[in-house]
Chain A
Amino acid sequence: MSQDHSLNPETMPNEPEKATLEGKNKFLGLWFFLGGETVLFASLFGTYLALRNSAADGPTSEELFGLGLVFLMTILLLTSSLTSVYAMYHMKNNNFKKMQVWLGITALLGIAFLTCEIYEFTHYITEYGFTFRSSAFGSAFYTLVGFHGGHVTFGLFWLIGLMIRNAKRGLNLYNAPKFNTFSLYWHFIDVVWVFIFTVVYLMGKVG
């Protein structure tokens, strides 16, 4: 790496994330992946919509959901989307330290979101006895929301991995595309959450 000056130019190009062929490919590849993810989540949403009233004798969505916690989770994830925008802003201005700081804040917000979700699930299981096996509604709920939580977890490992691996390397044309693909993925996770809080929680409260 250290001999490769084409990846460490004196002046950074305007869009470091798309300045190399590899960067362009990563960018396109991630969007292709997101197209597929859309279909994956659509089938989970479709399943949930079909089964959301099949609560058997278990608790229903109106009894379970509390809007306060969901609102907090929404704000946490939405804010983490903005902080990753800030990180990409500093990447474009070639300011590695500030980018790392904002990515760190993004990771903390993601961890806070995940903590809320784990609390929520334990609350449902211990207080209401509402598990994956309670009813068709239970299975569909935990699959959909759990899949999203799994994506958040994966994103956190990805982000922390990127931050640690590149901590000493600084910003260059080799890793700028990596940070950029992560940020696109993270925004997409927020997109999915927007539909989850609308379709699962708000519609669940309306009935």
Chain B
Amino acid sequence: MTDNTNTNQIDPFQKQKNKEELKKHLISFALMIVFTVIAFVIVASESMEKMFVIPLIIIMAVVQVGFQFYYFMHLKERGHEMPAVMIYGGVWCALLTLAALGVITWW
């Protein structure tokens, strides 16, 4: 059966690499938390004008999502060309959908 799977047989070089990878993940997690807190503080404090707040929080959301895709979901790594094609294809369709719905509503 599968009794040999908990032995940690992994070469030290790879283990070190995984560890460095994890460190990068922790940094991106911290940055994501920071972006989230900033967005909530800006809105809760009502210190800025509506015209600036909305673009600003949307940009911060996009940056945060970039961290998710490129670090947490490993899109930055080798061999992720097809996933990138698929997700950007999806994003492109998403933008078209939003544009179309926006145009029929507000034009």
Contacts and interface: CB of A to CB of B under 8 A. Distances in A.
8 contacts: A34-B87, A46-B98, A50-B104, A82-B26, A170-B2, A170-B3, A171-B5, A171-B6
A93 B15 contact: yes
Given A94-B8, A94-B10, A42 B43 contact: no
Nearest to B39: A202
B50 to A, nearest CB: 5
Given A35-B86, A46-B101, A191-B69, A95 B57 contact: no
Nearest to B80: A31
A38 B93 contact: yes
Given A46-B97, A184-B73, A31 B4 contact: no
Contacts of A38: 87, 90-91, 93-94
Interface in B43-93: 43-44, 50, 53-54, 57-58, 60-61, 64-65, 68-69, 72-73, 79, 82-83, 86-87, 89-91, 93
A202 B43 contact: yes
Interface of B: 1-10, 14-15, 18, 21-22, 25-26, 29, 32-33, 36, 39-40, 43-44, 50, 53-54, 57-58, 60-61, 64-65, 68-69, 72-73, 79, 82-83, 86-87, 89-91, 93-95, 97-98, 100-102, 104-105
Contact of A78 (B33, B43, B89, B91): B33
Nearest to A11: B9
Interface in A1-33: 1-2, 8, 10-12, 14, 18, 27-28, 31-32
A184 B75 CA distance: 11
Interface residues of A, number: 61
A81 B57 CA distance: 21
Contacts of B73: 184, 187-188
Given A14-B14, A39-B97, 7 more contacts: A1-B2, A37-B90, A42-B93, A71-B40, A89-B18, A202-B43, A206-B53
A30 to B, nearest CB: 9
Contact of A10 (B1, B8, B9): B9
A202 B40 contact: yes
Contact of B5 (A78, A172, A184, A190): A172
Nearest to A7: B2
Contacts of B72: 81-82, 85, 187
Contacts of A12: 5, 9-10
Nearest to A30: B83
Given A71-B40, A190-B68, A93 B10 contact: yes
A142 interface: no
B82 A31 contact: yes
Contacts of B43: 67, 202, 205-206
